[in-house]
Amino acid sequence: MDRKYGTMDLPKRTEQMKGLELLYQPEVVRLYLSLLTCSHNHNTLEAAAGALQNLAAGHWAWSSYIRATVRKEKGLPILVELLCSDVDKVVRAVAIALRNLAMDRRNKDLIGSYALRDLVGNLPCGQQHPAKNLEGDTVVSILNTIHEIITDSPENARALIQGHAVQKLVSINKSSQSPRETKAASHVLQTIWAYKDLRHMLNKAGWNKSHFKVFLCFPIMQIDKHQRFAYFPTQALGERKHFIRAGRPAVGLMDNKPPPLDSWV
């Protein structure tokens, strides 16, 4: 594996995959990307993006292959375009998929270059939500995706600042009525402030340390990517949000460990 760019060659297989193994092969990426490109059904778009977010989740071997395959199949622009959707559940599923895909270093660089503007554009400004009026879960998902993109990437954090995102983040941190939104926004702000080389840029724009402090009394918790939750299409659950912690035995994998499922934080 290329540590700098997060790319890898797919393993050579001597026998044909069958049964449940077919669900997590890199070849299925083309099918999901085709649905995301051609379908106009919101439930289909949500489910296809949700499938990719599950496949790209965690640190098991096949998720790494999936993340690289999505990039090679030019799937990142398809997902980024769907961030402009007016449908809440589609934006949420796509945002989480991008977050998982950004665990690949090369993907992180590309998503940081081309998706940050649309992610920030979907954020509310304090109590004033944008025209889409996205639900709180979706706003939190977008904030967590932004956090993944700027983690270990001062270049992406710089682009975030240049995209005038700090004003929205500070407003959410100070004014949002949702503790989860406030928590997620403060997590992003603290990550930005941790890049000392960017503080001059922040100070020049009128921001100082006080704008990056936590306004609620709660500990900032690191997201444990090994503890993830299963994605279920909204429609299949009667439009209720219901997430089940993975506890079932997994299908046989090359390392004989349960594949981690997706996170909906």
Distances (CA, A) of 236 to 99, 232, 245: 23, 7, 17
Distance of alpha carbon 148 from alpha carbon 260, whole angstroms: 17
| Cα 157 versus chain centre, distance | 16
What confidence score (pLDDT) does residue 17 get? 61
pLDDT in tens, 70-95: 999 999 999 999 999 999 999 999 99
What confidence score (pLDDT) does residue 211 get? 87
For residue 219, pLDDT over 50 is answered with no
Distance of alpha carbon 186 from alpha carbon 84, whole angstroms: 25
pLDDT in tens, 102-148: 999 999 999 999 999 999 999 987 555 565 789 999 999 999 999 99
For residue 31, pLDDT over 70 is answered with yes
Average pLDDT score over the chain: 79
- Compute the half-sphere exposure of residue 229: CA atoms within 13 Å on the CB side of its CA: 12
| Cα 80 versus chain centre, distance | 11
pLDDT in tens, 136-174: 999 999 999 999 999 999 999 999 999 999 999 999 988
Distance of alpha carbon 60 from alpha carbon 130, whole angstroms: 37
Q: Say what the pTM is.
A: 0.76
- Of the candidates 108, 99, 21, the one whose C-alpha atom is nearest the C-alpha of residue 61 is 21
Cα-Cα end-to-end distance for the chain: 29
pLDDT in tens, 224-251: 443 344 455 554 444 434 333 333 333 3
